[in-house]
Amino acid sequence: MPRIYRRHFRVRHYELDGRGCVNHAVYLNYFQQAAIEASTDAGYGPERYRAMGVVWLVRKTTLAYEHPAAYGDTLLAETWVSEFRRVQSHREYRLTKTGNGQTVACARMNWAFLDRRTMTPARIPPEMTALFAPNG
Provide the mean pLDDT of the chain.
95
Give the rounded percent of residues in the chain with a pLDDT score beyond 90: 91
C-alpha span between 46 and 114 (Å, rounded): 14
SS3 content of the chain, % helix, strand, coil (to 5): 25, 40, 30
DSSP assignment letter at 123: P
Q: What is the pLDDT of residues 3-38, one digit of tens each?
A: 899 999 999 999 999 999 999 999 999 999 999 999
Domain 5-132 has CATH 3.10.20.30: no
Q: Of 7, 19, 1, 133, which Cα lies nearest the Cα of 65? A: 19
Q: What is the pLDDT of residues 101-131, one digit of tens each?
A: 999 999 999 999 999 999 999 999 999 998 8
Q: Give the pLDDT confidence score for residue 59 in this predicted structure.
A: 96
Q: How many CA atoms lie within 13 A of 30 on its CB side?
A: 31
